C-alpha cells in the first residue's frame, strides 16, 4: 500500500498535458472546427497545455501534438479520442500510435480516455440541433407525433458502434416524442442514407427530420444533405428538415471535459478502458500495431473533391476518405457488403476506391444494371 501511495503521489505531481486525437479530414472547414473545439477545451483548462492532432489527412498529426506537449515540459499526457463512438480508430489506431510513442519516450506517462459515447450532454446537444432545425425552443407531448426522425450514423464494420447509433435514435425518439424513427448510415453498413430515406418516405409522414450524428462538417455531411435534396425533389408534398451537425457546442465540450477527468483519475471500468482492451488484444495476437496513421499525408490535389486515386489497401473505415496513401493493413471485406439496402447502393457515387474495391465484380455489374434501368427513359 505504501508503494502504491508513493507511485500515485509521483504521478500526481507530474506536469500534465491534454491531447485531443482526431481522425483528420480533407475538408479544411472540418479541420478548423476541430481546432475550435480544442480552443474551447483550453478555456476549460487554462493552466494545462492542450494540443490536438490527427491520424491522417490533416496536420498536425498526433506525433506532432505529443511532441509539442513534451516540449512544454509535460510528463503525463491525458489523451482522449475526438470520436463519437468506439470503432476501429478509437479502439485500435489511436492506442497503437500512443503506445508506440510512449515506448520511445521512457518516463512519459500516457493515460487514454474513452469516446464521447451516449453521454447525457451529447444527447442534449443532438436534440438541440433537431429542435433548432424545426424552429422550436421547446415542445409539448404530441407536438411531433406527425413527424418522422431519421438519424444518420457514421457507419462502420463495428457492430456495436452501429448499435449505439440505433440506441441514440430510440432515446431521442422517446425524449422528443416523434411519430416514427429510423436509423441510416453514411458508410460501410446498412441501410445506406439514400436507400433508407427512400424506404422511410413510404411510411406517409409529411414532415421528416434528417439529423446527422456527426461532430464536424466534411464530404459526408455534404453527401447526406445531397441525398435529402434528391429525395425531396421526388416528394414535393413532404417537408424535409436538415439538422446541423454537432460542432463545438458547450454540451460537447463538457463531455470532453468529463472524459479527460475520467482518464486522468483512472476512473474507467474494464469494459470502457480502450487502452487496456487494445493491449490485451495485442498480447493475444488479435490486432497489429500500424505506424502509418501517425504520419501526415497531404492531399495531392486539393481541388479534386472526389479523388479516387489508386492505393493498395482493402479495408472498411468508418469515414469518408478519398486520398492517396498506402495502408499496410487489411480489415477484410465487410460481411454485408452486398446487402441490397446497404453499401452497394452507393456504387458509382464518388465513394472511396478502397471501399469500392470490396465489391465483387458481379455486385458492381448488378447494381449498375439497376441504376441504368431506373434512369432509362
Based on the fold, state whether residues 127 and 216 are members of the same structural domain: yes
The stretch 49-66 carries a mean pLDDT of 92
**Cβ neighbours for 367, distance < 8 A, ≥ 6 positions apart:** 344, 345, 347, 348
Give the single-character DSSP code of 93: I
Which of the four pLDDT bands, split at 50, 70 and 90, describes residue 329? very low
Based on the fold, state whether residues 172 and 201 are members of the same structural domain: yes
Most confident of 7-21, 271-285, 338-352, 356-370: 271-285
Which of the four pLDDT bands, split at 50, 70 and 90, describes residue 343? low
Least confident span in 130-134, 151-155, 189-193, 318-322: 318-322
The stretch 148-152 carries a mean pLDDT of 98
Mean pLDDT of the chain: 82
More confident residue, 172 or 322: 172
Q: Of 255, 226, 249, which is closest to residue 82 (Cα–Cα)?
A: 255
Based on the fold, state whether residues 353 and 270 are members of the same structural domain: no
Asked if the model's pLDDT at residue 321 lies above 60, the reply is no
Q: Where are the beta strands (DSSP E) in the chain?
A: 16-22, 50-54, 76-81, 109-112, 147-153, 180-185, 207-212, 239-242
Give the single-character DSSP code of 61: B
Which structural domain range is residue 145 located in?
120-242
**Is 230 within a domain?**
yes
Q: What pLDDT is recorded for position 305?
A: 34
Based on the fold, state whether residues 74 and 188 are members of the same structural domain: no
CATH for 181: 3.40.50.1400
Give the single-character DSSP code of 244: P
**Cβ neighbours for 294, distance < 8 A, ≥ 6 positions apart:** 55, 61, 62, 63, 97, 100, 101
Q: Can you tell me whether residue 159 is helix, strand or coil?
A: helix
More confident residue, 366 or 31: 31
Provide the angle, in degrees to the nearest 10, between the axes of the packed helices 120-134 and 159-176.
Answer: 60
Based on the fold, state whether residues 192 and 80 are members of the same structural domain: no
Asked if the model's pLDDT at residue 3 lies above 70, the reply is no
Which of the four pLDDT bands, split at 50, 70 and 90, describes residue 333? low
Give the three cell numbers for residue 210.
434528417
**Is 127 within a domain?**
yes
Q: What pLDDT is recorded for position 19?
A: 97
Phi and psi angles of residue 141, each rounded to the nearest 5 degrees, phi first:
-55, 130
Give the three cell numbers for residue 176.
422528443
Based on the fold, state whether residues 238 and 149 are members of the same structural domain: yes
Based on the fold, state whether residues 6 and 104 are members of the same structural domain: yes
Asked if the model's pLDDT at residue 295 lies above 60, the reply is no
Based on the fold, state whether residues 238 and 126 are members of the same structural domain: yes
> How far apart are the C-alpha atoms of 85 and 336, rounded to whole Å?
20
The stretch 49-73 carries a mean pLDDT of 93
Based on the fold, state whether residues 87 and 167 are members of the same structural domain: no
**Cβ neighbours for 296, distance < 8 A, ≥ 6 positions apart:** 54, 56, 57, 58, 59, 60, 61, 64
Q: State the Cα torsion 267-268-269-271 to the nearest 10°.
A: 170
Based on the fold, state whether residues 125 and 221 are members of the same structural domain: yes
Based on the fold, state whether residues 158 and 76 are members of the same structural domain: no
The stretch 24-32 carries a mean pLDDT of 83
**Is 192 within a domain?**
yes
> How far apart are the C-alpha atoms of 318 and 152, rounded to whole Å?
13
| Signed CA dihedral, 261, 263, 268, 274: sign only | positive
The reported pTM is 0.78
Least confident span in 70-79, 124-133, 190-199, 265-274: 265-274
Asked if the model's pLDDT at residue 25 lies above 70, the reply is yes
Total number of domains constituting the chain: 3
Based on the fold, state whether residues 131 and 167 are members of the same structural domain: yes
Amino acid at each position: 500500500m505504501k508503494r502504491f501511495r508513493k507511485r500515485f503521489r509521483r504521478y500526481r505531481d507530474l506536469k500534465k498535458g491534454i491531447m485531443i486525437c482526431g481522425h483528420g479530414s480533407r475538408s479544411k472547414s472540418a479541420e478548423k472546427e476541430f481546432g475550435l473545439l480544442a480552443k474551447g477545451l483550453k478555456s476549460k483548462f487554462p493552466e494545462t497545455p492542450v494540443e490536438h492532432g490527427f491520424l491522417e489527412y490533416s496536420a498536425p498529426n498526433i506525433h506532432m501534438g505529443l511532441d509539442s506537449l513534451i516540449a512544454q515540459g509535460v510528463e503525463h499526457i491525458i489523451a482522449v479520442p475526438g470520436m463519437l463512438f468506439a470503432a476501429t480508430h478509437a479502439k485500435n489506431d489511436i492506442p497503437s500510435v500512443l503506445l508506440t510513442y510512449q515506448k520511445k519516450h521512457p518516463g512519459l506517462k500516457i493515460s487514454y480516455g474513452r469516446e464521447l459515447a451516449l453521454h447525457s450532454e451529447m444527447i442534449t446537444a443532438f436534440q438541440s440541433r433537431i429542435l433548432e432545425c424545426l424552429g422550436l425552443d421547446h415542445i409539448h407531448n404530441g407536438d411531433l407525433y406527425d413527424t418522422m426522425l431519421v438519424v444518420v450514423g457514421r457507419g462502420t464494420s463495428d457492430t456495436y458502434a452501429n448499435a449505439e447509433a440505433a440506441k441514440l435514435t430510440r432515446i431521442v425518439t422517446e425524449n422528443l416524442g416523434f411519430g416514427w424513427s429510423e436509423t441510416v448510415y453514411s458508410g460501410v453498413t446498412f441501410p445506406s442514407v439514400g436507400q433508407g430515406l427512400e424506404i422511410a418516405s413510404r411510411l406517409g409522414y409529411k414532415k421528416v427530420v434528417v439529423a446527422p450524428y456527426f461532430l464536424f462538417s466534411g464530404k459526408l455531411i455534404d453527401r447526406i444533405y445531397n441525398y435529402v435534396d434528391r429525395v425531396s425533389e421526388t416528394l414535393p408534398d413532404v417537408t424535409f428538415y436538415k439538422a446541423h451537425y454537432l460542432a463545438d457546442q458547450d454540451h460537447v465540450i463538457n463531455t470532453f471535459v468529463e472524459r479527460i477527468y475520467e482518464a486522468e483519475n483512472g476512473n474507467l471500468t474494464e469494459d470502457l478502458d480502450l487502452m487496456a482492451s487494445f493491449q490485451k488484444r495485442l498480447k493475444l495476437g488479435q490486432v497489429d500495431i500500424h505506424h502509418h496513421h501517425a504520419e501526415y499525408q497531404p492531399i495531392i490535389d486539393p481541388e479534386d473533391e472526389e479523388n479516387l486515386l489508386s492505393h493498395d489497401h482493402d479495408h472498411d473505415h468508418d469515414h469518408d476518405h478519398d486520398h492517396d496513401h498506402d495502408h499496410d493493413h487489411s480489415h477484410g471485406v465487410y460481411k454485408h457488403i452486398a446487402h441490397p439496402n446497404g453499401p452497394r447502393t452507393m456504387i458509382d457515387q464518388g465513394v472511396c476506391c478502397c471501399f469500392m474495391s470490396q465489391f465483387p465484380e458481379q455486385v458492381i455489374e448488378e447494381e449498375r444494371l439497376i441504376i441504368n434501368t431506373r434512369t432509362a427513359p
